[in-house]
Structure 1
Amino acid sequence: MENSGSLEQALQEGNILRQLNALIVAHLRHHNLSQVASAVASATMTPLNVEASPNRLLELVAKGLAAENNGSLRGVSSSPTSYGSIVTPRTASIDFSVTHVKGSSKTLPKHESKQLSEHKSVVRCARFSSDGMFFATGGADTSIKLFEVPKVKQMLSGDTQARPLIRSFYDHAEPINDLDFHPRSTILVSSAKDNCIKFFDFSKTTAKRAFKVFQDTHNVRSVSFHPSGEFLLAGTDHAVPHLYDVNTYQCFLPSNFPDSGVNGAINQVRYSSTGSVYVTASKDGAIRLFDGVSSKCVRSISSAHGKAEVTSAVFTRDQRFVLSSGKDSTVKLWEIASGRMVKEYIGAKRLKLRSQAIFNDTEEFVVSIDEGNNEVVTWDARTAEKVAKWPSNHNGVPRWIEHSPVESVFVTCGTTDRSVRFWKESV
């Protein structure tokens, strides 16, 4: 029996090793390191043309690091235990490089909205947790509100006892600019005009203030956690993105940032799904891509929206494309490898507000705000045809829109009416 167990263990270890070698070869090949891939394939007797997702190795490493570092922030509770679970996407990644014929657009189901709460001033931003269980909103009144999605649904189904607003935080001195959730621990991070980045542990019911603060030198416009949770990106009024080590407070700057001619503040920073690359959207009209390990700027798309500033930039799940929004009233999809625009979504006016364009959870649709008509507008992501437009139901144009990463729900944030509205498919 012992020999049988040892043999089984050896076979299992051999199988894992073969899978690892295959992933390494595929990773090298897909990142244009053909000579190195050939050498590794030869040395390990691995087929050079092995089939594997281009970023599968990076995805597994990111998940492993996240699991290893879960709860590594000192003094932070890891409960509730369900928080941070990895959710399998409802659909496979879409290849946007394939040409799609107009007229073949999908239909987006009708959505309805319900007002959940109000801030005392403009609601400036919102963010969902990666598992879709929570979302938070930040206001010009310096407050942060945290909502639990299952309780929102209970309230919408008629449960009068449900209380979806579960936390309120008050620790900034100026309006909130952006929010993000730690990928594994119950930590919400915020950035604001007071030059501060603050960390809140939302597992503690009585906590109103941050347990950790990063003091930056500029207005912090945007923040984004690395998928491991070990690093935090910050986009500020300074043109260079700041990268913080969450545990040591150390701040890093890109070593080869193209300073010449750069004078625009960063409106948004976002990591890709594996953290292998990150993107910035700037007031100078450029989209810049950085290597997630070296922080070197690897591509700059100047005048991405003509002379208008770029207000948002987010990755597709497969990290091959970036969706951007600008104050030229266009939304564009860019291929990272070539820097070329592959799709343009038009028909929604955006000239004043620093709003964003986003994908829905399946990446089949692009969603944004039309300032001119005070509407929520949706395009088929593949054909770029406008397929839906609904009244925002806000008194005044919403400043922000944010979609759940796991299901067909989203939130909009009001300006004049200062309200938070939750959208879901109509029954």
Structure 2
Amino acid sequence: MKPDIKDRDYMYRLIIGQLFYDGHQQIAVNLSQALGCSMQPPPPSDKLFRLVSIAKQFVDDPDAKDKEPTMAAEALSTGLDLEFDADVAPTTPEPSLYETIYLTSHKAPCRSAAFNVDGTLLATGSADCSIKIMDVERIVARETRGLDLNALDNGPDAHHPVIRTLYDHIDEVTCIAFHPREPILMSGSNDFTIKLFDYSKTAVKRAMKTIFEVEPIKAISFHPTGEFVLVGTNHPTMRLYNVETQQCFVCPVPSDQHRGSISDVHYAENARMFVTGSKDGDVKVWDGISNRCVETFQRAHDGAEICSACFTRNGKYILTAGRDSIVKLWELSTNRCLIAYTGAGATGAQDCPIQAAFNHNEDYVLFPDEKSGSLCSWDARNADRKRLLALGHTAATRCFVHSPTQPAFVTGSDDHRARFWYKKLSS
């Protein structure tokens, strides 16, 4: 039986995707152009190799036809997984369609922000030493549903999105993280302290616990259980703290550590690994149990400082951003860069570090371009560049965080403002 045109196209796309995956980019591009799919070349994928491996079972083993193919037993991923869904089209709205629906001001630059695990709360931190906690549902409801929340009030300010304002640092708040299970907010600061706030108590504005460090705090990440927290500082050595006892652990092998200050830390969702990025230009992957470095991507961005590093939900990939304005996707099974998202930084090199992030279902990669003041976005699977979104800040964007559950993100800027962006259903 002769294959139809769709079957041929699918076969060619598998071949091109396999060539991209195996590092033969130029050959893949040439073949893609020759076959007329140069406008949207297939993403890198190992699917062809796995299909051939399965078919080979039937050739090499006469009894294989009575067995289930290996691939059939594997579960599909809910996030980015180039093994299974490399050719899936995005199902969520493009980031260029988001709009600012809420704006809050600090008294100094806003350079840190975080959502909680279920995306219902948002916190922003500022160089004015304050932290604001906002109710995301109130932000969305007052703008998109036209609800008269005053009718539901128990007090004059109950409808306001800002539900807590916390003061206990004496220098800039540089990083924020919500506890994954308890109503606790952790913050790090240039005042050499890490503070834990119990935001379930409405009258409390001061921290219930303080961890003292010897360097300014640059990044924090909670263990998925909430029992431990990773702390990156201006020192090259990664710290791991027991949240309850405040006991500090460090890797006993000096050669495992970075050579420059740590700029970002991030736990994988299964806690088996964590990743760190540093000013030394390296990205390190660590074993979550032994606290030992198991892989180093040296000069990950050609020696440029690493701005951010985070895992995909399935833990198969790491997304990094560098001061070279390039975002990269690294595959852990092969320890190499699989996709480079380029096009940001065209108007000049960035002066300040800024994070890259996925949207809530990992369809898109997002990265603010400092010089143009716009948000760059790409299809996460094939690096297809999407339309720019003007962020509207009057100074450099210094923090960027996307909601883990819905089409919403927050940007913080040196113009003292934090903007909440949302894709309205009616738009």
TM-score by length of 1: 0.76
Mapped pair 1:134 → 2:121: yes
1:111 aligned residue: 98
The answer on 1:233 being equivalent to 2:230 is yes
My pick for the range that moved more, 374-383 or 155-164, is 155-164
Asked whether the equivalents of residues 128 and 404 of structure 1 are also in contact (C-alpha less than 8 Å), the reply is yes
Q: Distance in 1 between matches of 2:385 and 2:90?
A: 9
Deviates more, 1:349-358 or 1:219-228: 349-358
Deviation at 1:52, TM superposition (A): 6.2
Of residues 124, 129, 138, the one that matches 2:111 is: 124
The 5 A counterparts of 1:46-57 are 51=73
Partner of 1:281: 277
Deviation at 1:165, TM superposition (A): 0.4
1:93 Cα deviation after fit:
2.3
Q: Which residue of 2 aligns with 1:170?
A: 167
**Residue 207 (structure 1) aligns with:** 204
Aligned to 1:421: 419
Deviation at 1:53, TM superposition (A): 5.8
Give the direction of change, closer, same or farther, for the CA distance of 1:216–1:127 in structure 2 (3 Å limit): same
Q: How many Å apart are 1:293 and its aligned residue?
A: 0.7
Displacement, 1:105? 7.0
2:82 counterpart of 1:96: yes
Please give the alpha-carbon distance, in whole angstroms, between the structure 1 residues aligned to 2:260 and 2:329: 21
Taking the aligned partners of 2:251 and 2:73, their CA distance within structure 1 comes to 34
- Corresponding position of 2:402: 403
* Shift of residue 115, structure 1, vs aligned partner: 3.9
**Counterpart in 2 of 1:218?**
215
In structure 1, list runs of 5 or more residues that go unmatched.
Answer: 1-46, 55-90
Q: Distance in 1 between matches of 2:103 and 2:350?
A: 28
* Letter of the structure 1 residue corresponding to residue 101 of structure 2: K
**Partner SS, residue 255 of structure 2:** coil
Structure 2 counterpart of 1:182, which letter?
A: H
- Secondary structure of 2:140's counterpart equals helix
State how far apart, in whole Å, the 2-side matches of 1:153 and 1:210 are. 29
Task: Kindly indicate whether the alpha-carbon contact (under 8 Å) linking 1:104 and 1:383 is maintained by their aligned counterparts in 2.
Answer: no
Query: Judging changes above 3 Å, is the alpha-carbon distance between structure 1 residues 217 and 97 closer, same or farther for their aligned structure 2 residues?
Result: farther
- Farther off after superposition, 394-403 or 311-320: 394-403
Counterpart amino acid of residue 381 in structure 1: A
What is the CA-CA distance between 1:320 and the residue it aligns to?
A: 0.7
CA distance in 1, matches of 2:82, 2:214: 39
Corresponding residue number in structure 1 for 2:390: 391
CA distance 1:160–1:348, change in 2 (3 Å)? farther
Superposition pairs of residues 25-64 of structure 1, within 5 angstroms: 51=73
CA RMSD between the two structures:
2.3
Q: Secondary structure at the match of 1:258?
A: helix
Which shows bigger deviation, 266-275 or 250-259? Answer: 250-259
Which SS does the other structure have where 2:211 is aligned? strand
Counting only pairs closer than 5 Å after superposition, residues 71-90 of structure 1 correspond to structure 2 as none
Deviation at 1:132, TM superposition (A): 0.6
What is the identity, as a one-letter code, of the residue corresponding to 1:145? Answer: K
Q: Which amino acid aligns with 2:334?
A: S
The equivalent residue for 1:148 is 135
Which of 334, 339, 344 is 1:338 aligned to? 334
In the superposition, relative to structure 1, how do residues 290 and 267 fare at CA in structure 2: closer, same or farther (>3 Å)? same
Alignment of 1:179 with 2:176, yes or no, is: yes
Counterpart code for 1:296: R
Q: 1:258 to 1:51 in 2, by over 3 A?
A: farther
Closer/same/farther in 2, CA of residues 131 and 104 from structure 1, 3 Å limit: closer
Normalization by structure 2: what TM-score?
0.76
Summarize the alignment of residues 245-324 of structure 1 with structure 2, pairs less than 5 Å apart. Answer: 245-258=242-255, 262-324=258-320
1:94-119 deviations in Å (ceiling 9; x for gaps): 22357957x97776161111342101
- Give SS of 2:375's match: strand
Shift of residue 419 of structure 1? 0.8
Q: Is this contact kept in 2: 1:122–1:414, CA < 8 A?
A: yes
Asked if structure 2 preserves the Cα contact closer than 8 Å seen for 1:122 and 1:139, the reply is yes
Could you say if the C-alpha distance between residues 256 and 53 of structure 1 is closer, same or farther in structure 2, counting changes exceeding 3 Å? farther
- For 1:96 and 1:176, locate their aligned partners in 2 and report how far apart those are by CA, in whole Å: 37
**Contact 2:101 / 2:139 at 8 angstroms: preserved in 1?**
no
CA-to-aligned-CA distance 1:186-211 (integer Å, 9 cap, x gap):
00000011111000001000110000
Give the direction of change, closer, same or farther, for the CA distance of 1:338–1:215 in structure 2 (3 Å limit).
same
Letter of the 1:422 counterpart = F
Measured at CA, do residues 135 and 406 of structure 1 come closer, stay the same or move farther in structure 2, by a change above 3 Å? same
CA distance in 2, matches of 1:359, 1:258: 32
Provide the C-alpha distance between the structure 2 equivalents of 1:202 and 1:259, rounded to a whole number of angstroms: 37
Unaligned runs of 5+ in 2: 1-67, 151-158
Equivalent residues of 2:101, 2:140 under 8 A apart = no
Query: 1:404–1:104: structure 2 CA closer, same or farther, 3 Å change rule?
Result: closer
Whole-Å separation in 2 of the counterparts to 1:384 and 1:399: 24
Give the corresponding residue for 1:38.
none
Instruction: Give the aligned partner of residue 35 of structure 2.
Output: none
1:332-391 Cα distance to aligned partner (Å, 9 max, x none):
000122220001001112621221000001001001101121001111000101112111
Matched with 1:412 is 411
Q: Is the Cα–Cα contact under 8 Å of residues 375 and 390 in structure 1 kept in the other structure? A: yes
Tell me if structure 1 keeps the 8 A contact 2:277–2:306.
Answer: yes
Per-residue CA deviation, residues 201-227 of structure 1 (Å, 9 max, x unaligned), is 010001100000110111110111000
Whether the aligned pair in 1 keeps the contact of 2:111 and 2:126 (CA below 8 Å) is yes
